[in-house]
Chains A and B, each alone.
Chain A
């Protein structure tokens, strides 16, 4: 199966775009990402990831409504494309398969 490579960070951003259901935009995503994953990510990193996702055709963007704290500027809202959603599902399925192969008591390298 030919798959488009999706980086770990991109995967998380894409997941968040899906979860925010059409309301995903730069600042909102950044804040949510920082809260949920306990990372400290900067705005430009999120924008860069979104840009790459769009180039890969996994998200689509449209201009939303202006809000006052943005000085009347419109938001660029992101929604996942069918291809993006499909990719996420593929990743999930593949992970599940791998988990199935994991023994219940794995030998862990804890140096006993």
Chain B
């Protein structure tokens, strides 16, 4: 067989060579090829062929003869398409309005959601090479089979890593965060009577200069190297201004941190962007912590492998050629070397990517001010955004394909006159494009106006400049094309496929009927989506109501909590006496924790006569004897210890007794308990109250009501609580503040009402509830727009039929029923589909709560009823209009 030139090269040639030149050129090339095959063999000839073909890529070869083919930049056709599209849009004004309205609302909502998603995903990604930065976290396999992960590492780990694992590019110790009390001293470090005090909640970090080689937090004044010495601090611009008026004035000035440590300001950082997990407002040098030996800046020592604080974290950067798996293997070896044989539980370190800092709720971040947002929630938002867009497109498809009958004649005439199908599709797509373009612009405007909503709905900054970036423009362009295709392609294909013959013989109905099942399923889809959201909203609202009204076993009303400083505990009694003199204050107590808190202080214990500890731990709360009256906790046996009692005495809760198998609470009164080396009698048993927040991410062990022991110990009184019985709460709080400032002039005061604090626990859930409500409303709105359009269309379609029916004696009610029936059937199907999906989703969500409602059947019935009535309302507007129409008018034209 004769060898042939390479096919691909030939195809390429055929594509780029102008048709009038192709034959001669290709002929020459083939002849040359045949000649070369004889001269140098097939392989090299093919190679030459490729070279020759590529050599022909010249303008004169590519250039077409004038008028040979339509110029692709010929604008006549596009102009015509635009003109026709514009006329058609104007002719169907009301439907266009419905489409644009629905689509722009959908686009606006989707835009806001995608901005949120982008913002959440952007966390901690502004550092150079951020994808190679990892946090060293630790997993511990406990002897009882439990596994425990913590972001913290024992203090010696960082230095050991530097020597043992040379592959890591940087090993950076971070301690975060501090809640320092800051006293502004000014230029004189010895100032004793400084009065400007701030309590900075979650704002302090302790890092060394190497931190800034890994993370991109630019310095405005000074250099990171200044953080090499102990007792120096860098401030953010905002904090420098807050303390000293301006960044320049802050340099070299002095601050007192936590009442005792004097620090010099050696640098000012630019304010950190909002999408960081590191609060970089007050940065203390790591050398301070090293010099301090665990006295004031965290616990533990630099040669103790045994104890861990989750605040001591380590970050590393992997070299480019070291995959995470190999790095983890290195860490595994490292862990074996340092932990094996220390105790019976197995501990191992592994790496967690920096990008997960904001998303992995197994670990703590550095600040409670920005909630950890799990990826799941982000993808849910994206899904809702996508669904909204999809629903808006569905409306479009529905209305456009319904309008198809109206345009059947137009299409047919065009076909008869010689239009290609592709040209018709192009024309309909142009129409869609125009509408999508209008909706997009309207949608962007809406989104811009609604931007502040982001703040309320998702608690993310609503600064427009955060989002309006060049790549958003590109994304919008993509959206324009995508929506045009999504919304326009199906109607365009349906419309352009009409057979002119059928249309002229008035047999369109057959072709149109084919579209009905698609349209019906689209309506069902829309309403099912809306229903899932409605049902979820109702269940979410009920759960939130349930939580806020739930009997927690203690009273929150009028209880005001504030921080205490254990260093000045000798003045606690004075404070109590002074506070009790404030009008409206009926009780005062000091304790380690308020009744329901996130704190997890746990201890093993046993009855004093038994040598072995019980196999479960008790939650501990240190509290004085007024705790029970102040918080409204009731006793089932025994009574509280006295207020001034300092000897070890215990109050247990019912759950603890239940776990011990004790039936009669009175029987344990007076029995001695042993906790570590402390022994004391049980003096009372209280009714159960919630010892933790009802939703706690710490896992089942810490949820709800724990076995609890209370004991007096003023060394641990970090919290003060006051019961206020007064009409004028703000005034009472002011008086409490004044008393506090008099007794503890050294300490900055913070406090808030218990009810406010508890509500903050459920902030994430409440935000989600609000989110559900807004988007449930939007989906219903969009779905109804679609239904409205379709109903209007159907009513119009059947005008003549209605006229005939009326002439023959049909009642208005009968006609309304006739027209509404079809739509109601669809909505009912949607109810049937949506209910199990909603049940499944919400059941999963409720599992996160210790105390939860049951999902009642009536929720589904209610949602279904709601959807049916909204749909009925929407449809009936049109059908009543049609039914009331004078048949003379509709029939006269025939």
A3 lies within 8 A of chain B by Cβ: no
A31 lies within 8 A of chain B by Cβ: yes
The tally of residues in B whose CB lies under 8 Å from a CB in A reads: 19
Residue of A nearest to B28 (CB): A26
Scan A37-54; emit 1 where CB is below 8 A from any B CB, else 0: 000001111011001000
- On whether the beta carbons of B24 and A69 are closer than 8 Å, the reply is no
B27 lies within 8 A of chain A by Cβ: yes
List residues of chain A with CB within 8 A of the CB of B24.
25-26, 63, 73-76
**Nearest Cβ distance between residue B57 and chain A, in whole angstroms?**
9
- On whether the beta carbons of B60 and A30 are closer than 8 Å, the reply is no
Residue of A nearest to B27 (CB): A73
Scan B55-84; emit 1 where CB is below 8 A from any A CB, else 0: 110101100000000000000000000000
Distance A27 CA – B841 CA, assembled complex (angstroms): 74
Distance A91 CA – B51 CA, assembled complex (angstroms): 35
23 A-B contact pairs sorted by A residue (CB < 8 Å): A25-B24, A27-B35, A30-B32, A44-B55, A44-B56, A44-B58, A45-B55, A47-B25, A47-B28, A51-B60, A63-B23, A69-B30, A69-B35, A70-B27, A70-B30, A71-B26, A71-B30, A73-B26, A73-B27, A74-B24, A75-B28, A76-B23, A76-B27
- On whether the beta carbons of B31 and A70 are closer than 8 Å, the reply is yes
- On whether the beta carbons of B35 and A31 are closer than 8 Å, the reply is yes
- On whether the beta carbons of B56 and A27 are closer than 8 Å, the reply is no
Distance A73 CA – B25 CA, assembled complex (angstroms): 9
Distance A4 CA – B26 CA, assembled complex (angstroms): 31
B29 lies within 8 A of chain A by Cβ: yes
Scan A20-39; emit 1 where CB is below 8 A from any B CB, else 0: 00000111001100000000
List residues of chain A with CB within 8 A of the CB of B26.
71, 73
Distance A51 CA – B26 CA, assembled complex (angstroms): 16
Distance A76 CA – B51 CA, assembled complex (angstroms): 21
Within 8 A of A (CB), among B1-52: 23-32, 34-35, 51-52
- On whether the beta carbons of A48 and B58 are closer than 8 Å, the reply is yes
Distance A31 CA – B29 CA, assembled complex (angstroms): 13
**Nearest Cβ distance between residue A78 and chain B, in whole angstroms?**
10
Residue of B nearest to A76 (CB): B24
List residues of chain B with CB within 8 A of the CB of A66.
27
- On whether the beta carbons of A73 and B52 are closer than 8 Å, the reply is no
Residues of A whose CB lies within 8 Å of any CB of B are 25-27, 30-31, 42-45, 47-48, 51, 63, 66-67, 69-71, 73-76
For A26, A30, A43, which residue has the most chain B Cβ atoms within 10 angstroms? A43
- On whether the beta carbons of B60 and A27 are closer than 8 Å, the reply is no
**Nearest Cβ distance between residue A89 and chain B, in whole angstroms?**
28
**Nearest Cβ distance between residue B2 and chain A, in whole angstroms?**
9
List residues of chain A with CB within 8 A of the CB of B52.
42-44
**Nearest Cβ distance between residue A8 and chain B, in whole angstroms?**
20
**Nearest Cβ distance between residue A67 and chain B, in whole angstroms?**
7
**Nearest Cβ distance between residue B53 and chain A, in whole angstroms?**
9
Distance A95 CA – B52 CA, assembled complex (angstroms): 35
Name the one of A31, A44, A48, A75 contacting B27, with C-beta atoms under 8 angstroms: A75
**Nearest Cβ distance between residue B10 and chain A, in whole angstroms?**
10
- On whether the beta carbons of A43 and B60 are closer than 8 Å, the reply is no
List residues of chain A with CB within 8 A of the CB of B60.
48, 51
**Nearest Cβ distance between residue A43 and chain B, in whole angstroms?**
5
- On whether the beta carbons of B23 and A27 are closer than 8 Å, the reply is no
Distance A90 CA – B656 CA, assembled complex (angstroms): 120
Residue of A nearest to B52 (CB): A43
List residues of chain A with CB within 8 A of the CB of B23.
63, 73-74, 76
List residues of chain B with CB within 8 A of the CB of A63.
23-24
- On whether the beta carbons of B25 and A71 are closer than 8 Å, the reply is no
Residue of B nearest to A44 (CB): B55
List residues of chain B with CB within 8 A of the CB of A30.
32
List residues of chain B with CB within 8 A of the CB of A26.
24-25, 28, 32
List residues of chain B with CB within 8 A of the CB of A27.
28, 31-32, 35
List residues of chain B with CB within 8 A of the CB of A43.
28-29, 32, 52, 55
List residues of chain B with CB within 8 A of the CB of A74.
23-24, 27
Distance A66 CA – B26 CA, assembled complex (angstroms): 12
**Nearest Cβ distance between residue A28 and chain B, in whole angstroms?**
9
Name the one of A44, A47, A48, A69 contacting B34, with C-beta atoms under 8 angstroms: A69
List residues of chain A with CB within 8 A of the CB of B31.
27, 67, 69-70
**Nearest Cβ distance between residue B69 and chain A, in whole angstroms?**
20
4 shortest interchain CB distances as A-B pairs = A73-B27, A76-B24, A44-B55, A26-B28
**Nearest Cβ distance between residue B63 and chain A, in whole angstroms?**
11
Q: Besides the contacts A69-B34, A70-B31, what 11 more A-B pairs have beta carbons closer than 8 Å?
A: A26-B28, A27-B31, A27-B35, A30-B32, A42-B52, A43-B29, A43-B52, A44-B55, A48-B58, A71-B26, A71-B30
Distance A45 CA – B55 CA, assembled complex (angstroms): 8
Distance A106 CA – B802 CA, assembled complex (angstroms): 112
**Nearest Cβ distance between residue A61 and chain B, in whole angstroms?**
8
**Nearest Cβ distance between residue A71 and chain B, in whole angstroms?**
5
Residue of A nearest to B55 (CB): A44
**Nearest Cβ distance between residue B29 and chain A, in whole angstroms?**
7
For A45, A48, A71, which residue has the most chain B Cβ atoms within 10 angstroms? A71
List residues of chain A with CB within 8 A of the CB of B34.
69
**Nearest Cβ distance between residue B44 and chain A, in whole angstroms?**
15
List residues of chain B with CB within 8 A of the CB of A51.
60
List residues of chain B with CB within 8 A of the CB of A25.
24, 28
List residues of chain A with CB within 8 A of the CB of B32.
26-27, 30, 43
